Structure 1
Amino acid sequence: MFHAASSPVTSPRSPLGEKDQHHRPQDRQSKRRDAFFDNAKYLAIVLVAVAHSWEPLKGDSRVLQAAYMVVYAFHMPAFIVISGFFSRGFDASPGKLGRLVTGIAVPYVVFETAYSLFKRYVDDSPGQELSLLDPYYLTWFLVALFIWRLTTPLWKTVRHPLPVALGVAALASVSPDIGDDLDLQRVLQFLPFFVLGLCLRPEHFRLVRRRSVRIAAVPVFAVALAFAWWAVPRMNGAWFYHRDAAQEMGAPWWAGPVMQLALFGCSLVLTACFFSWVPGRTLWCTALGAGTLYGYLLHGFLLKGADYRGWFDQAWLHRPLGEIAVSAAVAVAVTLLCTPPVQRVFRFVMEPRMEWAFKRDAAELAREREKAGERERERRGEKVSA
């Protein structure tokens, strides 16, 4: 989900968490960015927010439930694939570990605390516990991203990483004893998409953006919507959340691996179709792709606040025009939350500068000493010549 540095879908040309881009001149940064990935991040975060707004409304509409099911099949996989793609350069060096802490761990602690307190006081829920081990609402993704990023060097050394990741996800789907700590079920069941991103190369994204794929994506999405409409009363939608084992959903254990593989295939096809429709040129919304972490983490307060106050209970919102109005309003709201003014206000939380918390990298110190020595030699040379 996000700003170039710490967004769930990372900034083009930079691995997730490398916030040094923000401090480079704007012209250099724009040259290094790929408009396709910024556009994809922006469109995906809009889908995430809109789908979240459908949750309290979809019970009255089979069509909306079908659309919700289709969107949930690919919006998070798309984020995760891009996150994995831009995580290929993570090597667990001190500098990158530090940026992982400031770009992912610190926002997690802040927003996990903020969301828990928000529910306790706005929803009048004094029993709401504050626990960093039990991610609330949106914050599970930050936990997952932190764990996936830390394991990146391991996946880069495995001979066949994607089959191994699929095996891990399948085992998780039949292991209810994993529990809810750190939302590990989601971490493990969504893992194959991250590992797939690590395995991809730029030409793979160019492959799905061909005209033939864009055309084929139309009937694919049409079939997906029709199937979802048929499946609404027949299928447990919780499968798309990947947060429970099969047994916890009342299914036999063998359904876990079967659904895991089936959903991975379906999500992969829909994600490829989504990417095929993402424009590759610079648009008015391209710059907003650098602020998707802000939109992701902040829009939850708007939706949860509306839900806690009962605003979604109004009858007219449960009619087609009301559902469209809510979708449009949320799309506008999350767009505004990705803008530079919002980024400037919340940057101290999303991208804190914490040099005081980390040791200086030995290689960096050596380079600085070398540069200082060169300057000193140049200064002495100038004095001698004078």
Structure 2
Amino acid sequence: MTTADTLRKSDPVAGEPPAEAAVPPRPRPARDPFFDNAKFLLVVLVVIGHNWYPLIGESRAVKAAYMVVYAFHMPAFILLSGYFSRNFEARPDQVRRLVKSVLLPYLIFQAIYLAVIDRINGTHFTMNWNYPSYLCWFLVALFAWRLTTPLWKALPQPIVIAVLVSIVAGLMNVGVDFASARILEFLPWFVAGLSMKPEHFQWLRRSSVRRWSAAAVLVALPVAYLLAPAANVKWLDNEWGTETLGVGDAEYVGIRLALLLASTVMVISVLALVPRRKLWFTALGAVTMYPYLLHGLVVQAGEWAGVHNAVAKDGPLAIVSLTAGAVLLALVLASPPVRKLAHWAVEPSVPRPPSPRALLGR
């Protein structure tokens, strides 16, 4: 078992803890700082991206930065989710942990987000389980992806098949119920993570890879700035098909393949540039679900209060301040006091089922 496989069970992205056994468990190796650094930096970009979205129609620079971030941040996060799902075999104990760590938080936060959004919009609260609200789609998707892990591990050329499934989903205009479109369109990244091995991440350490990665990131920004005025950012949602995007089948296939290629280059580049050593924020990589699930409530409240409209009027300095505030927000939401307050929702406690021996009265 590699160091990366031992991330703690409280983080759904980190994978599954070892199966329960009669023999005493061996001591777990130390956590790999690279993966914790990557996960926390990616979730910070999620928080920044959601704060930038209301501004993309007001600032070309923000739209360009948004396009670059959305080209890789969720694909990379999903790829890591797949990598840490490699040991999932759908055993009863693994499924129980998956329900507890992913499905139950979805039910809780779906209700919370619907209540908050309806309150902000002044509409009557209506419970709706089949359309994940705001950022809750990732929990539904992670639940579905991980349940299908044994299938993808058994198929030949799983990445090729996943790419075909992703493209066909857009051509068929799969609906948004239970995040079906995103589950299928983001699928290649999860399957790619399942197919990765530790040596692939070792390859990212090469100095030549890091040099080319830095160049790719630097080139991406001006390219995005040039494309920004005419770009439709809906392509980066990986949720829409030909009807919503207003393109024909051939054009859709061409653009999706080009975006997959561009995202692959960006994911490799960004992961190659992630620090490998332990840093002051490394430990926060084990609790990324807290800032991920909680920050949307703050962003929604900020939009309702007119914060983003004010930032758009105040210009570049206000945008920089908003971005810095988003970073600070991620740090605060990952802090021990917030985790203590929100533990019941992000990591809900569920009584363990009785053992067969207890059921038999022995």
TM-score by length of 2: 0.90
Give the aligned partner of residue 87 of structure 2.
89
Q: Check whether the contact 1:84–1:196 (CA below 8 A) recurs between aligned residues.
A: yes
Give the aligned partner of residue 247 of structure 2.
251
CA shift at 1:102, angstroms?
A: 0.3
SS in 1 for 2:280: coil
Residue identity in the other structure for 1:158: L
Residue identity in the other structure for 1:165: A
Give the aligned partner of residue 338 of structure 2.
342
Work out the CA distance in 1 between the residues paired with 2:107 and 2:150.
25
Give the aligned partner of residue 285 of structure 2.
289
Q: Check whether the contact 1:185–1:244 (CA below 8 A) recurs between aligned residues.
A: yes
CA shift at 1:94, angstroms?
A: 0.7
Work out the CA distance in 2 between the residues paired with 1:359 and 1:315.
55
Give the aligned partner of residue 240 of structure 1.
236
Matching of residue 186 in structure 1 with residue 182 in structure 2? yes
Q: Which shifted more, 334-343 or 187-196?
A: 334-343
Stretches of structure 2 that go unaligned for 5 or more consecutive residues are 1-6, 21-26
Residue identity in the other structure for 1:38: D
Give the aligned partner of residue 172 of structure 1.
169
SS in 2 for 1:251: coil
Work out the CA distance in 2 between the residues paired with 1:200 and 1:111.
31
Q: Check whether the contact 1:5–1:20 (CA below 8 A) recurs between aligned residues.
A: no
CA shift at 1:284, angstroms?
A: 0.6
Deviation readout 1:227-268 (Å, 9 max, x if unpaired): 211211222111000111022211112223222222111111
Matching of residue 141 in structure 1 with residue 149 in structure 2? no
SS in 1 for 2:230: coil
Deviation readout 1:153-198 (Å, 9 max, x if unpaired): 000100110001001001001012x222012111100000000000
Pairing partner for 2:203 from 200, 204, 207: 207
SS in 1 for 2:57: helix
Work out the CA distance in 2 between the residues paired with 1:345 and 1:143.
24
Closer, same or farther: CA 57–208 of 1 in aligned 2, 3 Å: same
Pairing partner for 2:100 from 84, 99, 102: 102
Matching of residue 279 in structure 1 with residue 275 in structure 2? yes
Work out the CA distance in 1 between the residues paired with 2:9 and 2:320.
33
Matching of residue 153 in structure 1 with residue 136 in structure 2? no
Deviation readout 1:132-161 (Å, 9 max, x if unpaired): 100011000000000000000000100110
Give the aligned partner of residue 268 of structure 1.
264
Q: Which shifted more, 149-158 or 273-282?
A: 273-282
Q: Check whether the contact 2:217–2:270 (CA below 8 A) recurs between aligned residues.
A: no
Closer, same or farther: CA 309–201 of 1 in aligned 2, 3 Å: same
Q: Which shifted more, 309-318 or 259-268?
A: 309-318
Closer, same or farther: CA 61–19 of 1 in aligned 2, 3 Å: farther
CA shift at 1:303, angstroms?
A: 0.5
SS in 2 for 1:173: helix
Closer, same or farther: CA 202–318 of 1 in aligned 2, 3 Å: farther
Give the aligned partner of residue 308 of structure 1.
304
TM-score by length of 1: 0.85
Give the aligned partner of residue 5 of structure 1.
9
Work out the CA distance in 1 between the residues paired with 2:233 and 2:155.
33
Pairing partner for 1:299 from 262, 285, 295: 295
Closer, same or farther: CA 7–266 of 1 in aligned 2, 3 Å: farther
Q: Check whether the contact 2:33–2:277 (CA below 8 A) recurs between aligned residues.
A: yes
Give the aligned partner of residue 41 of structure 2.
43
Work out the CA distance in 1 between the residues paired with 2:34 and 2:311.
40
Work out the CA distance in 1 between the residues paired with 2:53 and 2:232.
15
Residue identity in the other structure for 2:48: V
Closer, same or farther: CA 268–4 of 1 in aligned 2, 3 Å: farther
Closer, same or farther: CA 240–180 of 1 in aligned 2, 3 Å: same
Deviation readout 1:335-368 (Å, 9 max, x if unpaired): 1111233222222222223234x454x6xx69xx
- What fraction of aligned residue pairs are identical, expressed as a percent? 39
Give the aligned partner of residue 131 of structure 1.
128
SS in 2 for 1:60: coil
Closer, same or farther: CA 158–316 of 1 in aligned 2, 3 Å: closer
Closer, same or farther: CA 184–190 of 1 in aligned 2, 3 Å: same
Work out the CA distance in 1 between the residues paired with 2:229 and 2:312.
24
Residue identity in the other structure for 1:192: P
Pairing partner for 1:55 from 53, 56, 62: 53
**Count of aligned residue pairs for this structure pair:** 348
Stretches of structure 1 that go unaligned for 5 or more consecutive residues are 22-27, 367-371, 373-386
Work out the CA distance in 2 between the residues paired with 1:57 and 1:20.
47
Work out the CA distance in 2 between the residues paired with 1:240 and 1:5.
30
Give the aligned partner of residue 217 of structure 1.
213
Closer, same or farther: CA 103–74 of 1 in aligned 2, 3 Å: same
Closer, same or farther: CA 138–315 of 1 in aligned 2, 3 Å: closer
CA shift at 1:32, angstroms?
A: 3.2
Q: Check whether the contact 1:4–1:19 (CA below 8 A) recurs between aligned residues.
A: no
Work out the CA distance in 2 between the residues paired with 1:315 and 1:166.
39
